[in-house]
Structure 1
Amino acid sequence: MRIISGTHKGKRLIAPKKLPVRPTTDMAKEALFNILNNNYYFEDTTFLDLFAGTGNISFEFASRGSTDIVAVDADYGCIKYIEKISKELDFGISTVKSDVFQFLGKTFFKADIIFADPPYDFTVEEFAKIPELVFKNELLNKNGVLIIEHSKHTDLSQLDRFTNERRYGGSTFSFFEQ
């Protein structure tokens, strides 16, 4: 995996093989950031990374100037890896080792962009809990967006506050807004 743009553009990161992750592909990540780049000034953007895994998306936000970033994952190895790379690159990403659903039920952190990359084998009901908790607990700032990455075989268009989706290879990004 590599950082596509910003202060660490081109930096290659190699995550330990033992982590239980499926990093967002560079192609899909580049397409996603092309969309976000047209709507957000990253230096002023607060970002919440759910099911953060390797921290791939958090690192991209940090490289582009975001300083208010929280990465949440239940796996201790993932959290330690994000902390290690964040320190090496002087990013200052805050990490939280927690079940994402428990975190969403108790956090007061509000973000401009919330990105969730849960396991692709989640059921639609499990996916639905993410926007349900985000909107019920008012975790998005005004004009904020929730983006859920999932398999192209999963359809989230029937969920509340769904606005659109974009497909890149086997991955789909579903967007949800207030």
Structure 2
Amino acid sequence: MRVITGKYKGRHFDVPRTFKARPTTDFAKENLFNVLRAYIDFPSTRALDLFAGTGSITLELLSRGCPLVVSVEKDRQHFSFISAVLRKLDDPAARPYCGDALRFVARCREQFDLIFADPPYALPELPELPDRVMQSSALAPDGIFVLEHGDKHDFSARPDFLAHRAYGSVNFSFFRRPQVADEEE
């Protein structure tokens, strides 16, 4: 696994072969971040990486200068790997969390400008993830939610849907939380 750009560009981290997680391919990851550049300013973006897996997206967000990146991973082996990589980087913006991503979102009191989720494609709750994120307080007003998923899902009918991109078998759906209407209007 390598970091594509930013302050950690070119850094390589060997993911153990025993991992169940499938890291997002470099091609898909590079294109994802090219799309995200149109929506967010990384140095001012507080980010949440759900179902962090290998931590690949977390590393790209940190490398691009996000002031806070919380990565949530339930699998203890994966969490230990992410934590070890983050210790090597010694980046104060990184905050790993070992726990269930769905519970984390439901209970989270912090707000994030960007939430990225790469759940197992077979996760029964995958179709509900946009609702769960939008109904939580975790995504800030005007915040972006990105869901990585297989090609069986189509979220384009949702009012908060922004865009869809497919790179081989990897699909990204982008959503935006509406701005809170000004109460004085």
**Do the two structures share a fold, i.e. TM-score over 0.5?**
yes
CA offsets per residue over residues 11-57 of structure 1, 9 Å max, x none? Answer: 12211122220110000000011111233221111000000001000
Structure 2: tracts of 5 or more residues without a match: 178-185
Native 8 Å contact 2:108 2:137 kept in 1: no
State the partner residue of 1:18: 18
State the partner residue of 1:111: 112
CA offsets per residue over residues 120-150 of structure 1, 9 Å max, x none? Answer: 1234xx1233222211123212321100001
Change (3 A) 1:109 1:128: farther
The 2-side partners of 1:134 and 1:120 are apart by: 17
Query: How far has the Cα of 1:159 moved from its partner?
Result: 4.4
CA offsets per residue over residues 83-103 of structure 1, 9 Å max, x none? Answer: 111111122311111111111
The 2-side partners of 1:142 and 1:105 are apart by: 16
Residue correspondence of structure 1 range 24-173 to structure 2 within 5 A: 24-92=24-92, 93-123=94-124, 126-159=125-158, 161-173=160-172
Identity of aligned residues (%): 38
> Which structure has the larger Rg?
2
Q: Secondary structure at the match of 2:71?
A: strand
Q: Residue 99 of structure 1 aligns to which amino acid in structure 2?
A: D
Q: Residue 8 of structure 2 aligns to which amino acid in structure 1?
A: H
Q: Secondary structure at the match of 2:61?
A: helix
The 1-side partners of 2:135 and 2:38 are apart by: 27
Measured on the aligned residues, the alpha-carbon RMSD in Å equals 1.5
Native 8 Å contact 1:47 1:111 kept in 2: yes
Query: How far has the Cα of 1:166 moved from its partner?
Result: 0.6
Structure 1: tracts of 5 or more residues without a match: none
Number of equivalenced pairs: 176
Q: TM-score, normalised by structure 1?
A: 0.92
The 2-side partners of 1:78 and 1:155 are apart by: 29
Query: How far has the Cα of 1:160 moved from its partner?
Result: 5.4
